[in-house]
Amino acid sequence: MLMRSADPIGNPGDDGTGILLGQSVGGAAIHMDQGFVSLPFYAPESLLKGIFVNERGQRFINEDGYHGRTGWHALQQAGERIFLLVDNAAYAPPPEFTRIGIAAAGESWNEVEQELGMPEGSLSATVQSYNRYAAQGCDPAFHKAAKWLKPLDEPPFVALDCRIDYAFYPHFTLGGLDTLPSGQVVNEMREPVPGLFAAGRTACGLPRWGAGYSSGLSLADATFFGRQAGRHAAANALKSPSNTD
Ligand SMILES: Cc1cc2nc3c(=O)[nH]c(=O)nc-3n(C[C@H](O)[C@H](O)[C@H](O)COP(=O)(O)OP(=O)(O)OC[C@H]3O[C@@H](n4cnc5c(N)ncnc54)[C@H](O)[C@@H]3O)c2cc1C
């Protein structure tokens, strides 16, 4: 995962040393390029009626999805610039902590496109197509729910600036030590490393891809597999004091 903004979230002590410790005795670390990336642009909920475009003026996601998917997909776009397009009806100032300002405004989408320095007809064609279907209550490109569909046709029009290197994209990593359901850490041959257990974000558990991450996956994973790891370690320790499996 290539992170360009500076907003890791988590406990100050969580710096990856648990993973390094496991690796130092032969544990394999996997999915180290993956992470959760959010773009918490709502509330205000009226902003969900806007549309996200990349710096080529292309839409890339349904805006009513989980913000952890929006952020991750924003990061996959070419370039640093991401815009949320809204009209006068949908506009409300995003909360200050999001660091989302106004990149361009105009009385027509062509004006906004020009101000953003995009090729003529790029962004305006995206909005035109979106508006045509939104007026019919559907979004064949990304299947946004009808509740959030409204043509962006009330001037003035605004492009909100969600640039990757400035706006608030909180993130944490998802890679970690490779484990069995018992919590035993395995090596690169997927053989258990004797006496080594991991759970939570030191392990690469159920949430291992940013693209499919959803809220709740981390806590459920950490508590369930943490318990499994503890039980397995305790049972093994009781079998024989010298047993280190
Ligand atoms: C703001 C925020 C919101 C989140 N929301 C959700 C959510 O809604 N749903 C969800 O499922 N997940 C959520 N997560 C993710 C989830 O909280 C974490 O993935 C989960 O807490 C990881 O558990 P853990 O036990 O591995 O780590 P932690 O809960 O961070 O616990 C690790 C502990 O070890 C301590 N520690 C670190 N190094 C050392 C050391 N060398 N010696 C001693 N102690 C040390 C740390 O200080 C910390 O107390 C959120 C995370 C954040 C930061």
Q: What is the pLDDT of residues 11-40, one digit of tens each?
A: 778 889 999 999 999 999 999 999 999 999
Q: 82-107: per-residue pLDDT in tens?
A: 999 999 999 999 999 999 999 999 99
Q: Please give the Cα distance from 124 to 58 (Å, whole number).
A: 10
**Structural domain span for residue 225:** 17-37+170-239
Last residue of a domain, one of 135, 161, 187: 161
The rounded Å distance from CA 11 to ligand 1 centre is 6
* C-alpha 186 to ligand 1 mean position (Å): 22
Q: What is the predicted pLDDT for the residue at 169?
A: 93
Q: Of 111, 128, 161, which residue sits at a domain end? A: 161
Enumerate the β-bridge partners of residue 157: 106
- 10 vs 117 pLDDT, higher one: 117
Residue 5 lies in a domain: no
Residue 222 counted as domain residue = yes
Q: Pocket of ligand 1, candidates 9, 14, 228: which has the most ligand atoms within 8 Å of its Cβ, to mutate?
A: 14
- Structure-token match 């690796």, residue found: 23
Tell whether 23 and 69 lie within a shared domain. Answer: no
Alpha helix ranges (H) inside the chain: 17-24, 67-75, 109-115, 122-134, 217-239
Q: Which of 7, 9, 11 most suits a substitution to test ligand 1, by most atoms within 8 Å of the C-beta? A: 11
Instruction: Read off the pTM.
Output: 0.86
- Examine the fold and report which residue of 143, 161, 179 is the final residue of a domain before the chain moves on: 161
pLDDT tens readout for residues 139-161: 999 999 999 999 999 999 999 99
Q: How many domains does the chain have?
A: 2
Q: Say if residue 136 is in the same domain as residue 186.
A: no
Q: Is 29 helix (H, G, I), strand (E, B) or coil?
A: strand
CATH number at residue 65: 3.90.700.10
Residue 60 lies in a domain: yes
- Determine what percent of the chain is predicted with pLDDT higher than 70: 94
DSSP assignment letter at 95: P
Residues 30 and 87 in one domain: no
Residue 12 lies inside a defined structural domain of this protein: no
Whose CA is closest to 118, among 53, 63, 71, 61? 53
Query: 181 and 225 in contact (C-beta within 8 Å)?
Result: yes
Cα 207 to chain centroid distance, Å, stands at 12
10/7 Cα distance (integer angstroms) = 10
